[in-house]
Amino acid sequence: MNGYIAVMNSTKHSPIEDALESVRQCELELNDADNEVLAIRARIEENAQTEQSARARLAEAQALARTPADMATMDAELERVEDAERVIAAVERQRGPLRHLLENAERKARVCLENLRDSKKELFHVVFNERKAALQGSLPDLEMLLEVFGIWRQAGHTARENEHWAAFLADLAGIPSREQQDAAYDHAPALVGLASNRE
């Protein structure tokens, strides 16, 4: 029994691993949904080209069938007319269903994209909580910070209403440049195990 518990514990994933796996699953689902949209659009484009070609053949065959040189030519051109009309009819039958499929596929892709965004936010949330806990372990306790904060305000430091604490922390830790903040934002996906930050 103890051995079984040990095996179960050894295969248990951390919250970060679970969140990262959820992101990867959402990425796979979005990729499949995108591919489905592309496949349907490709069929629609293919059908449009097929219809255009068939209508050109139809017009040519109809013209030749109206003033044939002989019966054999008439029969051949009328057969071309029928063939072209069959192709056009088949394309027209598919037009509505393909439009329906495309709308559904695009809707599914949008849902998958939203799911991916939500799963990434959850991953960042989980990682932040873990990093926050580790960081708090190395910071002074709140009482000590408040003591220094009180001295900071008594020294004449000012800030806008309800922003004294934020200004104090900025003075304490320093304010990174906009470029540094943007670089940190851009680097965050790699820090949590993401290859990219697709949204």
Return the pLDDT at 136: 83
More reliable by pLDDT, 190 or 4: 190
- pLDDT at residue 167 above 70? yes
Q: Give the Cα separation of 64 and 62 in Å (integer).
A: 6
Return the pLDDT at 155: 93
Q: What CATH class does 2-123 carry?
A: mainly alpha
Radius of gyration of the chain (CA): 33
Return the pLDDT at 2: 52
Return the pLDDT at 10: 52
Return the pLDDT at 4: 47
Binned at pLDDT 50, 70 and 90, residue 114 comes out as very high
SS (H, E, C) the chain: CHHHHHHHHHCCCCHHHHHHHHHHHHHHHHHHHHHHHHHHHHHHHHHHHHHHHHHHHHHHHHHHHHCCCCHHHHHHHHHHHHHHHHHHHHHHHHHHHHHHHHHHHHHHHHHHHHHHHHHHHHHHHHHHHHHHHHHHCCCCCHHHHHHHHHHHHHCCCCCCCCCHHHHHHHHHHCCCCHHHHHHHHHHHHHHCCCCCCCC
What mean pLDDT is predicted for residues 5-16?
A: 66
pLDDT digits (tens, 9 = 90+) for 27-80: 999 999 999 999 999 999 999 999 999 999 999 999 999 999 999 999 999 999
Per the CB < 8 A criterion, the answer to whether 192 and 124 are in contact is: yes
Q: CA-based angle 4:9:12, to the nearest 5?
A: 130
Spans of all domains in the chain: 2-123, 140-199
More reliable by pLDDT, 195 or 141: 141
Return the pLDDT at 199: 55
**Tell me, what amino acid is at 130?**
E
Per the CB < 8 A criterion, the answer to whether 123 and 191 are in contact is: no
Q: Give the Cα separation of 33 and 111 in Å (integer).
A: 9
| Mean confidence (pLDDT) of the chain | 91
Cβ neighbour number for residue 62 with a 10 Å cutoff? 15
pTM of the model: 0.76
Per the CB < 8 A criterion, the answer to whether 171 and 157 are in contact is: yes
More reliable by pLDDT, 64 or 9: 64
Q: Give the Cα separation of 105 and 34 in Å (integer).
A: 8
